[in-house]
Amino acid sequence: MTDRTNEEWLEDLRKSSPNYNEALQDLRDILLRGLRVGLSSRKGIDRDTLEDIVQDALLRIVEKLDSFEGRSRFTTWAMKVAVRVALTELRRRHWKDVSLDKLVEAKGMDLFPTMGKESLPGPEQQTVQSMLMETMKTVISKELTDHQRKALVAVRFHGMPLEEVARKMGTNRNALYKLLHDARLSMQRAMTKKGLEPREVLEAFG
């Protein structure tokens, strides 16, 4: 039976419920259909990958049952959880074989988001921005430890997920947070010694 009320889904998905296995199978079918459509344009997503994503999503949903607030249909909430799991897995696969060393060596890294043509700065502002970016690159190269540099470049410049950076560095998320925090403090101190304050840098790219 898939036509359940929110309350019935919550009750049936408790592991102590006699309907647990049936409800889990019904929800699996719903999520699989939804993700098959939603991820159809993604390359490399075969049935086995979808099954793995759905199984991970089901585990997450059962663990988070108490966080469902009833503001939508239960299946809508469950699908949102599944989509988040799917996107996390796709990001992990995208970065799986990317070397942190190669990211650090990459040329032409932008330190700030690309601006649209309508907001391109004038010649003077471009010169200031170029000088500041070269200064920051020098600081990153000379003032940070190898671990700090790899983490900062991967997360800040290339957008690699924290979980994947932590995995590649053989650490955990909390330790990575501290590493990034220490890296930012080191950069701030180094920039201050060069006569630059964070406010000035932000204003130059405002």
State which of 95, 126, 144 marks the end of a domain: 95
Which CATH number is 20's domain given? 1.10.1740
pLDDT bin (cut points 50, 70, 90) of residue 20 is very high
Residues 64 and 148 occupy one common structural domain: no
Containing domain of residue 34, as a range?
Answer: 6-95
Are 124 and 198 within one domain?
yes
Q: What is the pLDDT of residues 77-86, one digit of tens each?
A: 999 999 888 8
Query: Is the domain of 115 the same as that of 83?
Result: no
Does some domain include residue 110? yes
* CA separation for the pair 51, 58 (Å, rounded): 10
Tell me, yes or no, whether 51 and 111 share the same domain: no
User: Which letter does DSSP use for residue 159 in this model?
Assistant: -
CA gap 44, 203 in Å, rounded: 43
Same domain as 91, residue 111? no
Q: Is 140 helix (H, G, I), strand (E, B) or coil?
A: helix
The structural domain count of the chain equals: 2
In a domain, 1, yes or no: no
How does pLDDT run across 99-155, given as a tens digit for each residue? Answer: 666 656 654 444 444 444 444 556 666 666 677 777 777 888 888 898 988 888 888
Instruction: Indicate which CATH number applies to the domain containing 174.
Output: 1.10.10.10
Contacts 24+ apart (CB under 8 A), 180-186: 180/148, 180/151, 180/152, 180/155, 182/148, 183/144, 183/148, 183/149, 183/151, 183/152, 184/152, 186/143, 186/144, 186/148
**Residues 78, 134 within the same domain:** no
- The helix-helix angle for 74-95 and 47-63 (nearest 10°) equals 120
What are the backbone angles phi and psi of residue 196, rounded to the nearest 5°? -115, 135
